[in-house]
Amino acid sequence: SADLSFAYFALAVEDGS
């Protein structure tokens, strides 16, 4: 779902990788 995709994107942004 789009919500899950956004959550994954936010996680990647927070990780900074």
- Cα 14 to Cα 17: distance, rounded to the nearest angstrom: 8
Look at residue 16 in the predicted model and tell me its pLDDT. Answer: 63
Look at residue 17 in the predicted model and tell me its pLDDT. Answer: 59
CB-neighbour burial class of residue 15 (10 A; exposed 0-12, middle 13-18, buried 19+):
exposed
Q: What is the DSSP string of the chain?
A: -HHHHHHHHHHHHHHT-
- Cα 3 to Cα 17: distance, rounded to the nearest angstrom: 21
Predicted TM-score of the model (pTM): 0.13
Look at residue 13 in the predicted model and tell me its pLDDT. Answer: 83
Tokens 């994954």 found at = 8
Tell me the pLDDT tens digit for each residue of 1-17. Answer: 788 888 888 888 876 65
Biggest CA–CA distance in the chain, Å, is 23
